[in-house]
Structure 1
Amino acid sequence: MGDYYITIGKNGVEKSREGDKRTPVGVYHVTANLPRAKLTDFYGSGAFPLNYPNEWDRRNGRDGHGIWLHGTPRDTYSRPPRASDGCVVLTNQDLESIEKYLQVGVTPVVIANDVQWVSNADVGQSRAELETAIEQWRNDWESLQTDRYLGHYASGFSSGSAGLAEWAAQKRQVNAGKQWVKVKLDDVSLFLYPGQQPLAVSTFTQDYRSNNLSNVMKKRVYWIREGSRWKIIQESAA
């Protein structure tokens, strides 16, 4: 565990618009590793673009682009706390110390207003509840009991341009042609989403097999609390 000083946007956090000079709040992933040789001196020892806007940002109408994790110019050790156009800026020394952990498409970057420390027991309980919800969803998908499967989706669900009603109709049509389905989930990651209550995001590799279709894809699913259950509010390819 490390603790590093960072610079954020001139106007703080919760980015929502192109050019608002704010840093987004959310769960993001590194999309590229841009070495010093491919950058101007402004970005220091390297840069790691993030996938802002992510699926949840787009659902909520947030736009903009070019949010990077990067260093500082050679003549600058560190920048003031609020000095970037929205990027997260570290000293070159600090960036170099963490870059070995930043894997493209793998490493999550969680940007939050603050850090709330919780007990191991609370973390374990939250994780167990989400893991149970994911496993029940997977089992009900395999069962071809479409009503049970659709019961895992929140009333406000969307996937691309499809809302819950359209999604449900499509799934009923698809399942009518299935004799069997097998779904395997690997490399599952789970995060409670900062700044949103209660929201969680899971990312995993989905291996789907059936009598007439097989595919493997990386998927990202957002879960919201409805009553006592975690339900899916957003589902898409990652």
Structure 2
Amino acid sequence: MFKKFALCVVLLSSVLYSNPLVDLYRLHGIAAVEKELNKSLQDVNYWKSSLKGDDLRFGYISDLEYVFLNQKSLNNLQVFKKDGKNYSKIFDEPVMIGQGNGDKQKEGDLKTPVGVYDLLRRNTQVDPFYGPLALITSYPNLYDISLGKNGHGIWIHGVPESENRDEFTQGCIAMENGRLLRLDSLIDHRKSVLLISEDKFVESNIDDISALFASIYGWQHSWKVNDLETYMSFYDKDFIRIKKGGIREDYNFFKRYKKIIFDRNERKQIIFSNINIIPYPNVSNKKLFKIEMYQDYWAPSFQSSGKKILYVELKNGKMSILTES
């Protein structure tokens, strides 16, 4: 019944209005309309028009509300709240960070990591040395692990009330307890992302975000139609995938695996929603991004739904996937 109603609406629209997509549907069917829409989604100019007027300095964020920004060289923590297409600063206070300069590489190097991290938990059952509470970050993330980094226990926390502490932390971000409690009252850690840069944070822009959106949908389309060569063109030659148990798969192994899947020539449905494209600070001055989305995948032999994460480099206007979940 609904399909008949929808078709009536389309036919009525074709009579009352001049609509190229309606005409295309009328003359060539739904497959032709889908093809035209796929072309638009892979067109950078479409995304530039669609994103015009959006505040994209922290990327494109669809389902988060708070952006934490720690610029290590400035020894401060800023928090921005998303309000529609814009951001407002709601917190800006001094902090203490790790003693070592540069990006964290291993346990005990006393460095605060550089990158993009989730706030996994809010822990109020902490040793008094860490103040009233701690926000637990996701270091090391998937990209860190792919690079061979290790360590753990990178928190945003307070300070001891009854004793002096060092000027630096062992890698965490620490602040005076009153400031931490005020921060805690302003945010929801479950809807937050933490960006840590070594020096001044390099903001993203509409050109980069548009190119990445076009790449995402080009990658998706090649995946759906089993076009292996185009699909693999979105992967970096140094691509690494970390499997369960820490098994590392390189580009060539991954391509052989995907060839087996694509050779089945199965019809697929792949739908992305809640897409976040976040600039990834790094000490190599590369255009790195974390892309996360909710992915619904359907094929006759396999179905799945869940969060998909890509860490990518933007090279010559096209995404190059470095690692993925």
Q: Specify the alignment match of 1:47 in structure 2.
A: 134
Q: Specify the alignment match of 2:239 in structure 1.
A: 157
Tell me, yes or no, if structure 1 residue 101 matches structure 2 residue 187: yes
Q: Specify the alignment match of 1:201 in structure 2.
A: 290
Residue number among 32, 36, 55 corresponding to 2:121 in the alignment: 32
Aligned residue type for 2:137: L
The 1:85–1:8 alpha-carbon spacing in structure 2 relative to 1, beyond 3 Å, is same
Aligned residues: 228
Tell me, yes or no, if structure 1 residue 175 matches structure 2 residue 257: no
Q: Specify the alignment match of 1:213 in structure 2.
A: 302
Structure 1 contact 156–164 (Cα < 8 Å) conserved: yes
Tell me the TM-score normalized by structure 2: 0.65
Structure 1 contact 154–226 (Cα < 8 Å) conserved: no
Structure 1 contact 30–102 (Cα < 8 Å) conserved: no
Q: CA deviation at 1:27?
A: 0.7
Which range is displaced more, 86-95 or 221-230? 221-230
Instruction: Give unpaired runs (5+ residues) of structure 1.
Output: none
Q: Specify the alignment match of 2:81 in structure 1.
A: none
The 1:187–1:148 alpha-carbon spacing in structure 2 relative to 1, beyond 3 Å, is same
SS in 2 for 1:230: strand
Larger radius of gyration: 2
Cα distance in 2 for partners of 1:109, 1:202 equals: 14
Instruction: Give unpaired runs (5+ residues) of structure 2.
Output: 1-88, 243-247
Aligned residue type for 1:159: R
Residue number among 148, 156, 161 corresponding to 1:74 in the alignment: 161
Tell me, yes or no, if structure 1 residue 84 matches structure 2 residue 173: no
Tell me the TM-score normalized by structure 1: 0.87
The 1:155–1:226 alpha-carbon spacing in structure 2 relative to 1, beyond 3 Å, is farther
Structure 1 contact 30–103 (Cα < 8 Å) conserved: yes
1:19-73 per-position Cα deviation (integer Å, ceiling 9, x unaligned): 11111111111111101xx112111121011111112212222111111111122
SS in 2 for 1:162: strand
Cα distance in 2 for partners of 1:219, 1:201 equals: 11
Cα distance in 1 for partners of 2:220, 2:259 equals: 16
SS in 2 for 1:10: coil
